[in-house]
Amino acid sequence: MLIKTLCIPKRKLTTVDEDCTLQEAIDILEKSGFRCVPILDETGTIFRGNIYKMHIYRHKANGGDMNLPVTHLLKNATKYIHLNDSFFKIFFTIKELPYISVLDSDNHFYGILTHSSLLNMLQQSWNLNNGSFVLTIASGGQKGDLASISKIINKFATIVSCITLDVEKEDIVRRMVFTLAPGATEETVKKISESLDRKGYRVIEKEDLRHS
């Protein structure tokens, strides 16, 4: 389970009980230093939503009652994923959230997956720390383009990662991002570019990771 390996489990988190008052919640937030934390039910197993520091302070500034239950200002009650969900579902759910809550197969709160964990995973998938060049290659989006481009590149260098972009767009141009293994040189990239050009593909961007 990829999600399970990336998320922070409940035992390592600061959470707020649904019976807490807004004053108690802001005290917890201030002490923890977090701008938002999960709200759990009294059993500590059911995710109710998130409470944000800014919403409590806005409520207080407007003369709101700080003895109201924290659930009065809860947000993101439906923003969560499950441990066995497709990894790609994260991108449609997390969006502007600081983290996404993760539930287990029994719908019990397991932990959270943060933006930073997600970005670190993407960085690893790109192999930015173990590559030489990153090539963004444009194609016409025809069936077999990925296999053809990969075959051409493999004649000159080893591919350590590949990410395809624009798959949901209606534009006829598709982009593929390849990271080449250490050892590739400017001459290697030139030969790849020339071979791709002859087959109707084009390197539209090149990044030298050795000097970035």
Sign of CA dihedral 196, 198, 204, 205: positive
What pLDDT digit, counting tens, does each position of 97-152 carry?
889 999 999 999 999 999 888 777 776 666 566 788 989 999 987 889 999 999 99
Residues 6+ apart with CB under 8 A from 120: none
**Closest C-alpha among 142, 113, 134, 143 to residue 203:** 134
- Domains of the chain from N-terminus onward: 2-120 (3.10.580.10), 127-211 (3.30.70.260)
pTM value?
0.67
What pLDDT digit, counting tens, does each position of 151-167 carry?
999 999 999 888 887 65
Sign of CA dihedral 106, 110, 114, 120: negative
The mean-pLDDT minimum among 45-49, 85-89, 109-113, 153-157 falls in 85-89
Mean pLDDT value of segment 34-60: 97
